[in-house]
Amino acid sequence: MSGIQGKVIAITGASSGIGEAAARELARRGAHVVLGARRTDRLERLVAEITAAGGSARCRALDVTRLEDVQAFVAFAQAEYGRLDVIVNNAGVMPLSPLAALKIDEWNAMIDVNLRGVLHGIAAALPIMQEQGRGQVINVASTAGHRVWPSAAVYCATKHAVIALSEGLRQEHDRLRVTVVSPGVTTSELAETTSDAGIKAWLEDFRQVAIPADAVARAIAYAVEQPDDVDVSEVIVRPAGSPN
């Protein structure tokens, strides 16, 4: 099956930003979307809006740092629609700070959500996709997976790891499509997780030029709509003329 129409697509971190935009775009193109996040009130509103527009959507509370949560989320998608064609591992946090600030709890949060959350998504979806003999894993990384900035070392490390992990997964499974989508500066709530006042001010300046989340959603849709024998391994999407 090629295209997007009728595909069952599970999206983590779907309550805002790129995840929300991807849900709207993929549903608009005929996918059955299953949405997970911790903020269930937002998910329920999003499902209602997609359904009112003629789309097909379901939602479930999800904490990607808990493997059992992700397994239950994926099982829910399969139970609702009979299969799982695509998982979009999108959930992420970005509390930036200099390493010398020793904000270890924030380091651990980035590792748990940005990296462990992706691993949990793979662990939950892979058995289903192997049994089906097909499937697609889309991991949302970042241009921060291609370079490093001061005060972003841990965040960049998690995104470098997502890219490496995705390439390893692709090489290990010849009937599985694996895509990394690496956005540049994108309009979202991601920067709000930064608690360091100085870095927050720098981020506000850094993020003056940004693309809307639906630009990244279209990149995700592009990867999904390819035929089964075409794997778009990575898409980097950033503001035109951006140096970052």
What residues are labeled active site?
A: 155
Distance CA 109, CA 115 (A): 10
Element holding 209 (H helix, E strand): none
Helix axes 17-28, 213-225, angle to 10 degrees: 50
Q: Give the number of other CB atoms < 10 A from CB of residue 104.
A: 9
Q: How far is the C-alpha of 183 from the C-alpha of 177, rounded, in Å?
A: 19
Q: Which residues of 69-101 are buried (b: 16+ CB within 10 A; e: fewer)?
A: bbbebbebbbeebeebbbbbbbbbbbbbbeeee
Q: How many helices (H) and strands (E) does the chain have?
A: 8, 7
